[in-house]
């Protein structure tokens, strides 16, 4: 493409990670090369309405500001030949776009919902497809697939909302020990996550987790270092240098990740023996491939004192804030954010072209 690429940033969303998405979007905007890209801002408000936003400067620089409520013109996304079109409900054309960057975290954005919509509309988009997005979002299914593939993970239990009366503290304690973690199965950014040491904490944690999801994951506590690694690519992905998160609080909470700059220390690169660092990189790529990811992902690990490496989770749309590990790890690996965005856009367009060459019908008529 010799002309500028029209890149639509799709951000906000209905999930509890709405504010994180706004901060990630702000950071991506600052990094974009305006000589290469024409930018469209498509915000999804908390009610799920899609709106076009003209004023880039209006994006908030701090969380907890739902600036999109009632603002921006409502839009309709229409599939087109070569480019997709954005129109208003009255039918007036607003813009054309070449590729979408879903800067969405959590349900209704990172879980395959938007990916399926964009795929049906035949619009190129950055990141994993429907299956990998859905599996990567659901910690229960992620762990089952990794376990079956021989990847070491923490022990866990899963309950859905119909089993609420069956969840007993003493039973969980007997199986997982103390302390343990309670989490919504489909959420990220440590939202709704609680560390449990006693029965009173347990039932509060279960109640809170079920506020965010209909399925709850209870996971054993792993005493170890928190190591993270970024992955980039499609069929031949590569891994960044590993980094380490050293929380100053009891665990790596939402506040530590996105609000309190002093809530944790990010050690980049992590101080690891060369063999261990290579094991992290190799396993990160292996997880990426097992889950059939595309474009980008961040894989999080626990490193025990024994040297055993366990996979904690994967994020198929990792944070892009100025405090986020994914872009920081790639910068330390020699790929600054502007170049990282270029590569993600290129991969998205190439995948779309490759998939559009596939056959979707048989070549001969079928007679009955």
Q: Is the pLDDT of residue 217 over 90?
A: yes
pTM: 0.87
**Which domains are delineated in the chain?**
5-126 (3.40.50.20), 155-220 (3.30.1490.20), 225-335 (3.30.470.20)
Q: What is the mean pLDDT of residues 208-228?
A: 94
Dist CA 10 CA 29 (whole Å): 12
Q: Which residues pair with 267 in a beta bridge?
A: 244
**Percent above pLDDT 90 for the chain:** 66
- Angstrom distances, CA of residue 285 to CA of 41, 141, 241, 282, 355: 32, 18, 12, 5, 23
The most confident of the ranges 48-57, 157-166, 260-269 is 157-166
| 225-256 residue pLDDT tens | 999 999 999 999 999 999 999 987 665 444 55
| 284-299 residue pLDDT tens | 999 999 999 999 999 9
Q: Is the pLDDT of residue 79 over 70?
A: no
Tokens representing 75 are 């839009």
Q: What is the mean pLDDT of residues 32-50?
A: 89
Q: What is the mean pLDDT of residues 340-358?
A: 95
| 82-129 residue pLDDT tens | 566 677 666 666 678 899 999 998 888 899 999 999 998 899 999 999
Q: Is the pLDDT of residue 281 over 90?
A: yes
* Residue spans of beta strands (DSSP E) within 14-106: 37-44, 50-53, 73-74, 76-78, 84-87, 93-97, 99-103
């Amino acid at each position: 493409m010799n002309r500028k690429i029209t890149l639509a940033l799709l951000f906000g969303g209905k999930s509890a990670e709405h504010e994180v998405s706004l901060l990630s979007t702000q950071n991506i905007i600052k990094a974009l090369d305006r000589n290469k890209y024409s930018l469209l801002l498509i915000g999804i408000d908390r009610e799920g309405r899609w709106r076009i936003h003209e004023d880039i400067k209006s994006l908030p620089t701090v969380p907890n500001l739902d600036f999109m409520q009632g603002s921006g013109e409502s839009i309709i996304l229409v599939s087109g030949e070569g480019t997709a079109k954005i129109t208003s409900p009255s039918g007036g054309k607003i813009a054309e776009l070449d590729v979408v960057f879903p800067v969405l975290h959590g349900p209704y954005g990172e879980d395959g919902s938007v990916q399926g919509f964009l795929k049906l509309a035949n619009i190129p988009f950055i990141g994993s497809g429907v299956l990998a997005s859905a599996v990567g979002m659901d910690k229960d299914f992620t762990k089952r697939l990794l376990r079956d593939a021989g990847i070491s993970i923490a022990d866990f239990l899963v309950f859905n909302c119909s089993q609420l009366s069956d969840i007993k503290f003493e039973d969980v304690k007997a199986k997982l020990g103390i302390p343990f973690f309670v989490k919504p199965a489909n959420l990220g950014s440590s939202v709704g996550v609680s560390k449990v040491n006693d029965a009173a904490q347990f039932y509060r944690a279960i109640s809170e987790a079920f506020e965010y999801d209909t399925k709850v994951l209870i996971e054993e506590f792993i005493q170890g270092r928190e190591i993270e690694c970024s992955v980039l690519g499609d069929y031949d992905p590569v891994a960044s240098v590993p980094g380490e998160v050293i929380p100053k609080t009891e665990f790596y909470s939402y506040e530590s990740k996105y609000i309190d700059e002093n809530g944790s220390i990010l050690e980049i690169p992590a101080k690891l023996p060369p063999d261990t660092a290579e094991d992290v990189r190799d396993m990160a790529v292996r997880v990426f491939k097992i889950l059939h990811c595309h474009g980008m992902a961040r894989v999080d690990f626990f490193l025990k004192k024994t040297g055993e490496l366990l996979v904690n989770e994967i994020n198929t749309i990792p944070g892009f804030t100025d405090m986020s590990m994914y872009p920081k790890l790639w910068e330390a690996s020699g790929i600054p954010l502007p170049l990282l965005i270029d590569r993600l856009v290129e991969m998205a367009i190439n995948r779309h072209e490759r998939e559009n060459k596939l056959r979707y019908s048989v070549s001969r008529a079928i007679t009955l």
